[in-house]
Chain A
Amino acid sequence: KQEVTQIPAALSVPEGENLVLNCSFTDSAIYNLQWFRQDPGKGLTSLLLIQSSQREQTSGRLNASLDKSSGRSTLYIAASQPGDSATYLCAVRQDSGTYKYIFGTGTRLKVLA
Chain B
Amino acid sequence: DGGITQSPKYLFRKEGQNVTLSCEQNLNHDAMYWYRQDPGQGLRLIYYSQIVNDFQKGDIAEGYSVSREKKESFPLTVTSAQKNPTAFYLCASSTLRAGTVIADQPQHFGDGTRLSIL
A-side residues, CB < 8 A to B, are 4, 31-32, 34, 36, 41-46, 49, 51, 89, 91, 93, 98-106
Please name all residues of chain A whose beta carbon is closer than 8 Å to the beta carbon of B43 when the two chains form the complex.
Answer: 44, 89, 91, 103
Also in contact, A104 and B111, with CB within 8 A (given A51-B103, A99-B31): no
Give the A-B pair count, Cβ closer than 8 A: 63
CB distance from A41 to the nearest CB of B (A): 7
Count of chain B residues near A, Cβ 8 A: 30
* Consensus secondary structure, chain B interface: strand
* Consensus secondary structure, chain A interface: strand
Q: Given known contacts A34-B106, A103-B44, what 11 new A-B pairs fall within 8 Å (CB)?
A: A34-B107, A42-B112, A46-B108, A51-B104, A98-B56, A99-B31, A100-B45, A100-B56, A101-B33, A101-B107, A104-B42
B94 close to chain A: CB less than 8 A: yes
